[in-house]
Amino acid sequence: MSAHLSLAPLLESFFRSRLTNQRNASPSTVASYRDALRMLVLFVAERTGRQPSALGVADFDRDLVLAFLDELEVKRKNSIQTRNARLTAIRSFFHHVAANDPASLGIAQRILGIPIKRAHIEITHHLSRNEVDALINAPDQQTPRGRRDRALLLFLARTGARVSEAIGVNAADLQLDRPRSQVLLRGKGRKERIVPIPSDLVKGLKSLLNERGVALHDMRPLFVGTHETRLTRFGATHIVRRAVATATANIPDLARNPISPHVFRHSLAMTLLQSGVDLLTIQAWLGHSQVATTHRYAAADVEMMRRGLEKAGVSGADAARFKPKDAVLRLLEGI
């Protein structure tokens, strides 16, 4: 049997050939897979006492990958969904290994046999309108950074964009003339969708672009960090954390649950649902591939269920027992 290939050429061909050329993966998918494999490589390097550049496929066995997944949950406090997303990236890579390194087929098959972990459906955490407004108004409007922060928070809250979609927007993706104010978002799997934007966000984005001297037809990023470079996911998360730290002084309840950029997406979905917008419209708005994903918002809203009981006239009083007239049915009912 031939020797195992080293790790580096397999990683390079995986990202350059399999993901980019063959599967036409979106930049966000490539970034997600890169992060997952980077963490795995660092974990294996630490466990084996070898430098990452010295690792080979033979250093990756099923038990070590399982230990890595356990660490994600136990030490990093990752959710089961995040754990499964990391495993999806690892599986994709080892599919590539199996196809390109026959000597490593056994290792790859054992790793590919690691099952996706079933997760309990959790109630979707969302913010009230007052809490959303408090976060939007938290940044200091007397500074350029504060005005940028407020515009980003307002964008997340009003569009329901994923953080990767928000930071990926260019000025040319905006249409700010009323009554058809809208933005083009590029979602998962390179899927594009257009969502409307309300007047307060239009005003905020116009001010942001004017302050930076950016025209609407420009391909420059809408949200930037230092040196006018595109804002990163980490930068966006830090902006949200900064707003939470400020707003918690007035609304202590904001500290009861972790707040990430994604919470704004959940919160908009619940607001739309409670306002009577149907699930199919919310599905299109959020860019969900399946309406079942959107349905969890309806399942999480106890108040809507309670109003449904009131509308239906359902009470706790004992209803009269149904008595079938037919003799055979009476016989069956009595058994």
Residues with catalytic roles: 162, 188, 262, 265
Confidence of residue 2 (pLDDT cuts 50, 70, 90): very low
Does residue 312 carry a pLDDT above 70?
A: no
Q: What is the pLDDT of residue 21?
A: 74
Q: pLDDT at position 39, please?
A: 93
- Looking at per-residue pLDDT, the higher value among 49 and 22 belongs to 49
pLDDT of residue 147: 96
pLDDT on residue 311: 57
- Taken in order of first residue, the domains within the chain and their CATH numbers are 7-112 (1.10.150), 129-310 (1.10.443.10)
110 — pLDDT class (breaks 50, 70, 90): very high
Given this model, what pLDDT does residue 272 score?
86
Higher per-residue confidence, 208 vs 20? 208
Residues 95-106: tens digit of each pLDDT: 999 999 888 999
Residue 56's identity, in one-letter code, is G
What phi, psi does 146 have (nearest 5°)? -65, -40
pLDDT at 241: 94
Q: What is the pLDDT of residue 174?
A: 95
Residue 120 pLDDT greater than 90, yes or no: no
Confidence of residue 5 (pLDDT cuts 50, 70, 90): low
The number of beta carbons lying within 10 Å of the beta carbon of residue 48 is: 13
Specify the DSSP element, H or E, that contains 306: helix 302-312
- Angle, vertex CA 133, rays to CA 194 and CA 124, nearest 5: 70
Q: How confident is the model at residue 283 (pLDDT cuts 50, 70, 90)?
A: confident
124-173 tens-digit pLDDT: 578 889 999 999 999 999 999 999 999 999 999 999 999 999 999 999 99
Lowest-pLDDT range, 43-52, 220-229, 242-251, 312-321?
312-321
Contact 294, 118 (CB under 8 A): no
Tokens of residue 239, six digits: 């902006």
Place 1 in a pLDDT band, splitting at 50, 70 and 90. very low
Structure confidence at residue 228 as a pLDDT band (50, 70, 90): confident
Kindly report the number of other CB atoms within 10 A of residue 110's CB atom.
Answer: 15
DSSP labels, 56-123: BGGG--HHHHHHHHHHHHHTS---HHHHHHHHHHHHHHHHHHHHH-GGGHHHHHHHHTPPPPP-PPPP
Plot region of 313 (φ>0 → left; ψ -120 to 50 → alpha; else → beta): left
pLDDT of 96: 93
Q: What pTM, to 2 d.p., does this model score?
A: 0.61
Residue 169, token pair as written in the block: 């927007």
> Within its chain, how far is the Cα of 142 from the centroid?
31
